[in-house]
Structure 1
Amino acid sequence: MDYIKMTAVFRKLALDAGDKIMEIYDADDFDVRAKSDESPVTAADEAADALISAGLREAFPDVLLVTEEQADTHSESAANFLIVDPLDGTKEFIKRRGDFTVNIAYVENGTPVRGVVYAPAKGRMFYTDADGNTVEEEGPFDHDKQGLTKPLKVKTPDNDALIVVASKSHRDQATDDYISKYKTADMTGAGSSLKFCLVAAGEADLYPRLGRTMEWDTAAGHAVLNGAGGAVVRFDDHTHLTYGKPIYENPFFIAYAPGVELKSA
């Protein structure tokens, strides 16, 4: 795989999709509909998906593309594949809270090895470079030319004063009970795949998710965290979270900076 090309394509498509999303986000009103699983979808999800899908299929015509908004792709499988959530955090988008992201990733043999997470309303963009290392690019962004980047690395955690990040829209008692097993200095809430990026950037140590997610929700963030030296493991047995599972559904998981003393379920 040409990772130099992949990095450039992912970055540009994420920025282009972000512009489409913000056009709708900044409008006076937009329609919200329910999909078959009762999750919300907007014109922004669909416009971003159309743009990203077309770009990826043109750039990588021989690689399987799995995307949240195209149900017919959910029954396909391959050892290596592209996986997209064009607008993760639709609930945050609808509430105009800004914590939504564009997510594009490439999975090789069960592991997300390249990815981009772009939060257009927050002006933050994280991605893996051609060597697989994670960077954050400084805005404002030029769609055709990479700007200044800084390398990201997870920080060394203090197990007596951990910073924990959890979901804004999917927080529940089980999650709070699990977090209570740790000694925490601070708790922060974030939407979408930004939680992985906060750990990757050293702004948090631990992100537990005790709820249903799909692989398109997590693959790009997982790649970003991997490239910064972090890890994502299953909640039940702490083995590595792998991809390409039936219907692309995840088990509960924990994303963390190595050095965190993980607690059992």
Structure 2
Amino acid sequence: MDYDTLTTTMRRLALEAGAKIMEIYEADDFDVRAKSDDSPVTAADEAADALISAGLREVFPDVALVTEEQAASHGIDASTFLIVDPLDGTKEFVQRRGDFTVNIAYVEDGIPVRGVVYAPAKQRMFYTDSKGFTFEEVGELKIDEVGETRPLKVAEADNSALRVVASKSHRDQATDDYISKYEVEDAKSAGSSLKFCLVATGEADFYPRLGRTMEWDTAAGHAVLLGAGGHVVRFDDHTPLAYGKGGFANPFFIAYAPSVDLKPA
């Protein structure tokens, strides 16, 4: 893989898809439909998916592509592939809460080694560079020009005063019960893959997810966190979360700074 080209392409497609999404988001109204699993889908999901998929296939025609919005891709059996969630946090989009993201990642031998997470309503862009280190691009975001960037690194956690981030739309009692095992000073909620990014920036120390997710929901955020020095492990046995699983469904997991003393499930 040419990582320079990959970084440039993922960043550009995320910004282009974000612009398309915002056109629909800022309209007076938009249709919301239910998919076969009852999750919502909008014209923004579909438009962003078409744009990103076409762009990736043009530049990387020989790399397998998995995307949430194309069911035929969910039968791919591969350990190295591109994976896309064109609009993660559709519920946040529909409710106009802003916590939605564009997610593009490259998985190599089961590990998400490169990724971009773009939150167009918040104008926050997180991505790995060609060497795998994570940056946040700050200031005005331009498709044809990379602006000022700042390197990201996870925080050195204080285990007597931890900061946790959890799902805004999917938090439940099991999650609260697990969080209660820790000494928590601050708890916040966020939507979509932004939770991984808040750990990557050092704004939070850990993010437990005791609920259903798919690999396209997590791969880009996982890559961003890895590039900032963080980890993502299975909830049950704390082994690294791997990708390319049959059906692309994830087990429960924990994303965290290495200095957090993880508690057993």
What residue in structure 1 maps to residue 66 of structure 2? 66
What residue in structure 2 maps to residue 80 of structure 1? 80
SS of equivalent residue, structure 1 residue 262: coil
What residue in structure 2 maps to residue 171 of structure 1? 171
Runs of 4+ in 1 over 4 A off after TM superposition: none
Equivalents in 1 of 2:50, 2:195: separation in Å?
25
Asked if structure 2 preserves the Cα contact closer than 8 Å seen for 1:64 and 1:77, the reply is no
What residue in structure 2 maps to residue 15 of structure 1? 15
Equivalents in 2 of 1:245, 1:83: separation in Å?
13
Q: Deviations over 1:186-243 (max 9, x none)?
A: 0000000000000000000010000000000000000000000000000000000000
Q: Deviations over 1:240-259 (max 9, x none)?
A: 00000010000000000001
Following TM superposition, by how much is the alpha carbon of 1:139 offset from its aligned partner in structure 2, in angstroms?
A: 2.7
Asked if structure 1 preserves the Cα contact closer than 8 Å seen for 2:163 and 2:185, the reply is yes
What residue in structure 1 maps to residue 53 of structure 2? 53
The gaps in structure 2 that reach 5 residues or longer are none
What residue in structure 2 maps to residue 102 of structure 1? 102
What residue in structure 2 maps to residue 238 of structure 1? 238
Equivalents in 1 of 2:23, 2:72: separation in Å?
28
What residue in structure 2 maps to residue 26 of structure 1? 26
Following TM superposition, by how much is the alpha carbon of 1:148 offset from its aligned partner in structure 2, in angstroms?
A: 0.7
Equivalents in 1 of 2:41, 2:190: separation in Å?
20
Equivalents in 2 of 1:14, 1:97: separation in Å?
19
Following TM superposition, by how much is the alpha carbon of 1:77 offset from its aligned partner in structure 2, in angstroms?
A: 1.8
What residue in structure 2 maps to residue 111 of structure 1? 111
Asked if structure 2 preserves the Cα contact closer than 8 Å seen for 1:10 and 1:116, the reply is yes
Q: Deviations over 1:144-175 (max 9, x none)?
A: 11111000000100000000000000000000
Amino acid at match of 1:68: E
1:156 aligns with 2:156: yes
Equivalents in 1 of 2:238, 2:76: separation in Å?
27
Equivalents in 1 of 2:118, 2:139: separation in Å?
11
Equivalents in 2 of 1:184, 1:56: separation in Å?
41
What residue in structure 1 maps to residue 195 of structure 2? 195
The CA RMSD over aligned residues, in Å, is 0.4
Equivalents in 2 of 1:142, 1:22: separation in Å?
15
Asked if structure 1 preserves the Cα contact closer than 8 Å seen for 2:79 and 2:243, the reply is no
Equivalents in 2 of 1:243, 1:76: separation in Å?
12
Query: TM-score scaled to structure 2, two decimals?
Result: 1.00
Amino acid at match of 1:211: G
SS of equivalent residue, structure 2 residue 226: helix
May I ask how many residue pairs the two structures share in their alignment? Answer: 265
1:252 aligns with 2:252: yes
What residue in structure 2 maps to residue 206 of structure 1? 206
Asked if structure 1 preserves the Cα contact closer than 8 Å seen for 2:166 and 2:190, the reply is yes
SS of equivalent residue, structure 2 residue 156: coil
SS of equivalent residue, structure 2 residue 12: helix
Equivalents in 1 of 2:259, 2:146: separation in Å?
33
Equivalents in 2 of 1:244, 1:75: separation in Å?
10
Following TM superposition, by how much is the alpha carbon of 1:140 offset from its aligned partner in structure 2, in angstroms?
A: 1.0
The gaps in structure 1 that reach 5 residues or longer are none
1:42 aligns with 2:25: no
Following TM superposition, by how much is the alpha carbon of 1:79 offset from its aligned partner in structure 2, in angstroms?
A: 2.3
Amino acid at match of 2:210: L
Asked if structure 2 preserves the Cα contact closer than 8 Å seen for 1:229 and 1:257, the reply is yes
SS of equivalent residue, structure 2 residue 136: strand
Following TM superposition, by how much is the alpha carbon of 1:142 offset from its aligned partner in structure 2, in angstroms?
A: 1.2
